[in-house]
Amino acid sequence: MRAKILRTAAEHFECAEADLLLADGQVTIRGVPRHNIALGALAALANPLRGAVRPGTEPGLEAAAYFGPAKGATAAGAHAMIVEIDPATMRLRVLKYVVVHDCGTVINPLIVAGQIHGGVAQGIGNAFYERLAFDEGQLINGTLADYLLPTSTEVQ
């Protein structure tokens, strides 16, 4: 986005991008601080009206970048649980569930915790509750009314 800001400002000031400074929410010409433009005003300039976009350019000051590791990336973790099964009713109870994950550098701990909680719920559901049931080739539990999913009481 910085490159787009400087390119747009250079066109506005009719100068080279190397002559510009981007700081404190504005772009100025080096050595001439009175020649400046706020990023908001620059954003308005970067969004021409009614299709007046020059060929080979993109309107706006937004930018997108994507990263994909060449060989993929996987997390390392271990899950273990202690369960109790009532032999009379076959009711399953999870007594203890332990999760250990090597997440690397955590940027947002709340998101990581939510991902792990969701993974635990999905794992318990997949192992003990969820099952595609067929009757002579026909799926008989194809709706959420019939497909058994764990609720918060099963994964608490």
Query: What gap in Å lies between CA 37 and CA 27, rounded to an integer?
Result: 5
∠ CA 89-90-95 to the nearest 5 degrees?
115
CA distance 93 to 152: 13
pLDDT beneath 50: ranges in the chain: none
Same domain, 47 and 93: no
Examine the domain organization and report whether 24 and 83 are in the same domain.
no
Is 71 part of any domain?
no
Is the same domain home to 117 and 49? no
What CATH number is given to the structural domain containing 13?
Answer: 3.30.365.10
Judge whether 132 lies within some domain. yes
Nearest-5° angle of CA 66, CA 69, CA 72?
Answer: 125
pLDDT computed for residue 110 by the predictor:
95
Is 55 a member of any domain? yes
pLDDT of residue 57: 75
Same domain, 87 and 149: yes
Last residue of a domain, one of 45, 65, 85: 65
- pLDDT digit string, tens, across residues 17-34: 999 999 999 999 999 989
At residue 22, the pLDDT reads 95
Position 46 scores a pLDDT of 86
13 and 80 housed in the same domain: no
User: In this structure, are 110 and 40 located in the same domain?
Assistant: no
Domain final position from 65, 91, 113? 65
CA-based diameter of the chain, in Å?
A: 85
pTM of the model: 0.46
**b/e sequence 31-45, b meaning 16+ C-beta within 10 Å:** eeeebbbebeebeee
Asked if residue 150 and residue 89 are part of one domain, the reply reads yes
Classify burial at 148, counting beta carbons within 10 Å of its beta carbon; exposed 0-12, middle 13-18, buried 19 or more.
middle
| Amino acid 50: pLDDT | 62
Q: Domain span at residue 90?
A: 76-155
Tell me, what's the pLDDT at 51? 63
| Same domain, residue pair 60 and 131 | no
Q: Quote the number of domains for the chain.
A: 2
- Domain end, chosen from 31, 65, 99, is at 65
